[in-house]
Structure 1
Amino acid sequence: MNSFERMQNRLQGKTVDRPPNFDIFMVFAAHFINQPLTKYYLDYHVLVEANLAMVENFNVDIMQAISDPYRETHDFGAAIEFPADDLPVCKIPLLNEPDDLNRLSIPKPENGKRMSDRLEAIRSMKEKVGNAIPVMGWVEGALAEAGDLRGVGTVMMDIYERPDWLKDLLEITVELEIAFVEAQIAAGADIIGIGDALCSQISPAMYREFALPYEQRIIAAIHAKGALARLHICGDTNQIVDDMIKTGADIIDLDWMVDMHATCERYGDSVAFCGNFDPVKVMLRGTPEEVYAATEQSIYMPGNRTFSAAGCEIPDKTPHHNLFAQTRALNNF
């Protein structure tokens, strides 16, 4: 059974040789192949090489074109700084003042320097793995992208002080994300991940007003083009998980703070959940025995649809023997 078949069967609750490993790798992957983060972010060849290394060395079941949250933001026109081997930084928000929205134009993904680099990564990944391993593209959620353009703290204030203005911005960001979705699927993506981390910082009512409708539109666009949707909201989403189900996502990531067993009991027959052991306490700082136990616990859940992954990105400097322990637990399924 190859990775693509494994994913499809698990989504349907059918028999698999082992649950799929859908760990998210970024910084770890770049450093594993001895490349600085700048190259990982800016050169799709490095991104592809790093992902192939994760598949070949750690039995990961997905090729992923995820890197950082600033691809769309850069192509909107924001000034993004790329330290040699550190995370990118946007020191001055593109929408520093509300009136700046009037000057915001929507770039075409194929013309944007950084969005087109992701498209090239997806084409290269698909060429190398074909239909044996699913290829995952990535977009920011509309609210997350608003935070990237405006600053997270400022967007939080906008929810209270200028909600109608914020919705005007969200109409722009969701339009771009849908266009980016369609371009990535055309390039060969089988799955589109949606990162909307800001949503774990707002109330359920705010989520339903400022995030859920836009996630639903993005996911509808993904499905309309024949691809799968993976929703990733970092942090404690216990208070919004019932609403996350309404997005229509095929795979929903759960971070370590979420009661995965209780969530699978409620929804495991209809949605595949991915997670959810602690990426720092367990994967980075734990022992192989602890990783094995956490992996084993996460895959025996109601519904038989769960995917294995840490609650969020695999941290840099994670011991290799801990990743091998995850593999052993999956292989002994």
Structure 2
Amino acid sequence: MNDTFLKACRGEKTDYTPIWMMRQAGRYLPEYQKVRGKVTFLELCKNPELCVEVTLQPIDILNMDAAIMFSDILIPMEAMGAPLEFHEGKGPVFPESIRSKADLDRLIVADPYEKTGFVMETIKLLRRELKVPLIGFAGAPFTCATYLIEGGSSKFFWETKKMMFTNPALFHEVMEKITQTTTRYMLAQAEAGAQALQLFDSWAGILAPCDFEEFALPYATRIIADLKKTGVPLIYFANNGATLLDLSVTTDADVIGLDWRINIGEAIRKVGKKAVQGNLDPIALLLPRDELRRRIQQLLKGAEGAFGHIFNLGHGIHQFTPPDQARYAVEYVHELSAR
């Protein structure tokens, strides 16, 4: 087992800087597209054998130092009783959005084995195959709540913030139910064999720090506190969260994920004695190779003072990224950091 990623999470000395990329099992790979061409996205998420196949692809093709199970952050929301659809070009849609107490009462706190057993089966199968650590994950409660309340993706989050500011009691009830489901879901992943767990707060950056502190942070913090007993490294990633770093650290996650909107050295000073993960702009993979090398050199040099550093993109790899560019980045991170 190549445990370089786990060592970096724990702040231990490593022979080189480990690298993986968010959304590494996905649309930019022709091998993924071949699998995806046979099934819908949701069918793929619920088929353990196919999930294993696409999870392994970036490990075999690109030589990543960690695998992240193939799934979607909204799978547990469907398990709670919210019908979920994925529309080409539009993304996830919840036709029955949550806007009232009656809407919320339709949702259950989902049993992860009964409702999402296919995820646990995927993890068990992957552990038999992998020679690198496996990362499990879930969406943070605030991010998942936005999808349920808006009915899908949003640019302005009008309905979410309207509920927060005009009916905060209901908003907190929504968050409570999601938090209970998410905690159980992630504990089950660890029990099934996930060796690290990441909480994705993709939309945390739409909040002012005071609103993040009141409406989102307490729930992420609670989940991480409950997951501590698993003993696996815990990663918290607040996208567009440069202004939220001092608060994100208080979650007590072992690793703080960084987007590309902050200098990594500055972030490390704010984070203190915690490992960091990040933070190359995903589109920077399109740079000419000499420029890409220079960018990677800068990032690795900036991270020299980190308690631990996992090289990653500042968000998911873009679907139109040439796989050769991603492979080149992995090779260069390995080569340069090993010197």
Identity, in percent, stands at: 20
Displacement of 1:306 after TM fit? 1.4
1:312-327 alignment to 2 at 5 Å?
312-327=315-330
Whole-angstrom CA distance in 2 between matches of 1:98 and 1:260? 42
Whole-angstrom CA distance in 1 between matches of 2:99 and 2:67? 36
1:202-213 alignment to 2 at 5 Å?
202-213=207-218
Question: What residue number does 2:2 align with?
Answer: 3
Displacement of 1:91 after TM fit? 4.4
1:300-315 alignment to 2 at 5 Å?
300=301, 301=303, 302-303=305-306, 305-315=308-318
Mark the runs of 5 or more structure 2 residues left unpaired by the alignment: 151-156
Whole-angstrom CA distance in 2 between matches of 1:126 and 1:87? 33
SS at match of 1:133: coil
CA contact (8 A) 2:10 2:233 kept: no
1:126-205 alignment to 2 at 5 Å?
126-129=127-130, 132-151=131-150, 152-205=157-210
Displacement of 1:250 after TM fit? 1.2
Question: What residue number does 1:35 align with?
Answer: 35
Question: What residue number does 1:19 align with?
Answer: 17
Structure scoring higher RCO (CA < 8 A, sep ≥ 6) equals: 2
1:215 to 2:220 alignment: yes
1:258-269 alignment to 2 at 5 Å?
258-268=262-272
1:215-234 alignment to 2 at 5 Å?
215-234=220-239
Whole-angstrom CA distance in 2 between matches of 1:225 and 1:11? 15
Q: Deviations over 1:28-49 (max 9, x none)?
A: 3664332226254332222211
Whole-angstrom CA distance in 2 between matches of 1:199 and 1:247? 14
Whole-angstrom CA distance in 2 between matches of 1:72 and 1:30? 26
Q: 1:146 to 1:253 in 2, by over 3 A?
A: same
Question: What residue number does 2:154 align with?
Answer: none
CA contact (8 A) 1:291 1:322 kept: no
Question: What residue number does 1:276 align with?
Answer: 279
SS at match of 1:180: helix
Counterpart of 2:279, as a letter, is N
Counterpart of 2:31, as a letter, is F
Question: What residue number does 1:298 align with?
Answer: 299
Displacement of 1:90 after TM fit? 1.3
Counterpart of 1:264, as a letter, is I
- 291-300 or 185-194, which deviates more: 291-300
SS at match of 1:239: helix
Q: Deviations over 1:213-254 (max 9, x none)?
A: 11111111221122221112222x121111001111111111
SS at match of 2:27: helix
SS at match of 1:231: strand
Q: 1:118 to 1:29 in 2, by over 3 A?
A: farther
- 18-27 or 90-99, which deviates more: 90-99
Question: CA RMSD of the aligned region, Å?
Answer: 2.0
Whole-angstrom CA distance in 1 between matches of 2:271 and 2:227? 21
Question: Which of structure 1's runs of 4+ aligned residues deviate more than 6 A?
Answer: none
Whole-angstrom CA distance in 2 between matches of 1:13 and 1:79? 41
Counterpart of 2:171, as a letter, is L
Q: 1:91 to 1:74 in 2, by over 3 A?
A: closer
Counterpart of 1:312, as a letter, is H
CA contact (8 A) 1:238 1:259 kept: no
Displacement of 1:314 after TM fit? 1.0
Q: 1:127 to 1:186 in 2, by over 3 A?
A: same
Counterpart of 2:276, as a letter, is F
Normalised TM-score (structure 1): 0.89
CA contact (8 A) 2:280 2:312 kept: yes
Normalised TM-score (structure 2): 0.88
Question: What residue number does 1:124 align with?
Answer: 125
SS at match of 1:110: helix
Mark the runs of 5 or more structure 1 residues left unpaired by the alignment: none
Whole-angstrom CA distance in 2 between matches of 1:311 and 1:145? 20
CA contact (8 A) 2:142 2:203 kept: yes
1:253 to 2:257 alignment: yes
Equivalenced residues, count: 322
Displacement of 1:12 after TM fit? 4.2
Whole-angstrom CA distance in 2 between matches of 1:53 and 1:26? 7
Counterpart of 2:222, as a letter, is R
CA contact (8 A) 2:25 2:58 kept: no
Of 66, 69, 84, 1:65 maps to: 69
- 286-295 or 184-193, which deviates more: 286-295
